[in-house]
């Protein structure tokens, strides 16, 4: 694959919000998915289905071993069988969740001209964007986004974050700090569940030097939601993702047994999903799971996807303790920097990258 992310976008950028607000009654052909990728009722699971909801409050109560074990078991089951779950009582104040989501919603409601000052390019993706991937002629998703670096600290640059609305930087900073704490806790739980030392995954992620970034997604109203997707099916390339979903509008769908489950978020829940790097480190005991976003014609939607990632330049490979004669290492070592070039170049493509990485056997 030839990759040149130093170039600019291959075509002039069109803001999906502008298309939506222009009142067009048909989705332009650039956004029309092939029939097999369109959301259709036959591929959607029963509306009563949901991803597991896990109350993790008790894990902080050191004295209650049986409660800790119950939580570990629930997380283990969710990681093995779903790759996706919601956590509640995670320690992040509900008010902060509501405020930071509202601030980002207000940012997207600014005029396109004001947001244009933050227009991004494929080199770092940082800023206001409207496409993932640089392939000319690609079919695009019905969404705009804002992408920013949170960790390592030397990549964090508040001057590249929106200055309006008031306090958006402070709120995003505080939210990031809280999610990073939750990320550290969950890596411990996952390590223990895999039978590894409590600090194994955190160390494998680079210890104190983990990476973290935020993509805030904005899905405008869409005149023909049945023809397109807000975000195409993909697994997340990084470690763990913490998603703050829209509290009023559903849209996230998770693949389970060839069907798509529409996630029903619990109040103030954070949705967690296993990324490709955890699949590699766990030697595929845990698997990243495909997900996508559907849009609708009468409501816009906002979500904050916080990616908790390994340090970008250290090799990530299956934990030695999880390699056996029956289950040899399924993946060769690769740094996250090398790995994420794929999605940055080709855009969301299901699970094709992590599947292609499997060592020949
Ligand atoms: O908007 C959502 O609910 C999901 C977003 C997502 O999957 C992503 O940003 O990678």
Omega prior to 242 cis, within 30 of 0 = no
Read off the CATH number of the domain in which 33 is found. 2.60.120.330
Pocket flag, ligand 1, residue 215 (CB < 6 Å): yes
Is residue 8 situated within a structural domain?
Answer: no
Is residue 6 situated within a structural domain?
Answer: no
Report the pLDDT value the prediction gives residue 361, as an integer from 0 to 100. 47
| Range 3-27 average pLDDT | 89
Number of CB atoms found within 10 A of residue 350's CB = 15
Is residue 143 situated within a structural domain?
Answer: yes
Instruction: Report the SS3 class of residue 1.
Output: coil
Instruction: Report the SS3 class of residue 291.
Output: strand
Give the residue, 230 or 258, on which the prediction is more confident: 230
Q: Which residues contact 264 (CB under 8 A, 6 or more apart)?
A: 50, 250
Is residue 215 situated within a structural domain?
Answer: yes
Is residue 10 situated within a structural domain?
Answer: no
Measured by CA distance, the residue closest to atom 9 of ligand 1 is 305
* Residue 121 confidence (pLDDT) above 90: yes
Q: In whole angstroms, what is the distance from residue 351 CA to residue 270 CA?
A: 23
Measured by CA distance, the residue closest to atom 4 of ligand 1 is 252
DSSP letter, residue 313: T
Is residue 4 situated within a structural domain?
Answer: no
Tens digit of pLDDT for each residue in 332-360?
999 999 998 877 888 888 888 788 877 65
Q: Give 343 Cα–ligand 1 centroid separation in angstroms.
A: 14
Q: Which residues contact 355 (CB under 8 A, 6 or more apart)?
A: none
Q: In whole angstroms, what is the distance from residue 323 CA to residue 354 CA?
A: 18
Question: Domain tally for the chain?
Answer: 1
Q: Which of 247, 305, 340 to mutate to test the pocket of ligand 1 (most atoms within 8 A of CB)?
A: 305
Q: In the structure, what pLDDT confidence band is assigned to residue 4 with cuts at 50, 70 and 90?
A: low
Tens digit of pLDDT for each residue in 237-247?
999 999 999 99
Residue 261's closest CA among 101, 39, 76?
A: 39
Is residue 122 situated within a structural domain?
Answer: yes
Is residue 159 situated within a structural domain?
Answer: yes
| Range 96-103 average pLDDT | 98
Starting at the edge strand that comes first in sequence, how are the strands of the sheet with 231-234 ordered?
A: 231-234, 291-293, 252-256, 259-262
Domain hosting 177: range is: 16-355
């Amino acid at each position: 694959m030839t990759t040149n992310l130093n170039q600019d976008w291959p075509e002039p950028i069109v803001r999906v919000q502008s298309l939506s607000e222009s009142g067009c009654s048909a989705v332009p052909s650039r956004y029309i998915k092939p029939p097999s990728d369109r959301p259709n009722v036959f591929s959607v699971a029963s509306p009563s289905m949901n991803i597991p909801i896990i109350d993790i409050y008790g894990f902080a109560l050191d004295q209650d071993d049986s409660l800790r074990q119950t939580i570990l078991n629930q997380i283990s089951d969710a990681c093995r069988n779903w790759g996706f779950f919601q956590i509640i009582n995670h320690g992040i104040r509900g008010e902060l969740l509501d405020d930071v989501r509202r601030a980002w919603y207000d940012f997207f409601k600014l005029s396109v001209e004001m947001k244009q000052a933050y227009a991004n390019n494929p080199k770092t993706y940082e800023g206001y964007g409207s496409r993932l991937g640089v392939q000319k002629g690609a079919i695009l998703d019905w969404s705009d986004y804002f992408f920013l670096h949170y960790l390592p600290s030397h990549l964090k640059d508040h001057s590249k974050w929106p200055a309006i609305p008031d306090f958006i930087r402070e709120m995003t900073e505080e939210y990031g700090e809280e999610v990073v704490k939750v990320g550290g806790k969950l890596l411990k739980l996952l390590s223990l569940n895999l039978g590894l030392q409590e600090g194994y995954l955190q160390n494998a992620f680079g210890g104190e030097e983990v990476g973290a970034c935020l993509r805030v997604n904005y899905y405008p109203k869409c005149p023909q939601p049945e023809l397109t997707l807000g975000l195409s099916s993909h697994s997340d390339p990084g470690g763990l993702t913490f998603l703050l979903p829209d509290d009023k509008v559903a849209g996230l769908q998770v693949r389970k047994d060839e069907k798509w489950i529409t996630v029903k978020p619990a109040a103030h829940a954070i949705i967690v999903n296993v990324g490709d790097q955890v699949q590699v480190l766990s030697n595929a005991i845990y698997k990243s799971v495909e997900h996508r976003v559907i849009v609708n014609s009468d409501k816009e939607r906002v979500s904050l996807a916080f990616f908790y990632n390994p340090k970008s330049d250290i090799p990530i490979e299956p934990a030695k303790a999880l390699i056996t004669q029956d289950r040899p290492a399924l993946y060769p070592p690769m740094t996250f920097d090398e790995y994420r070039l794929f999605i940055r170049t080709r855009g969301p493509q299901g699970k094709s990258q992590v599947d292609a990485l499997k060592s020949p056997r």
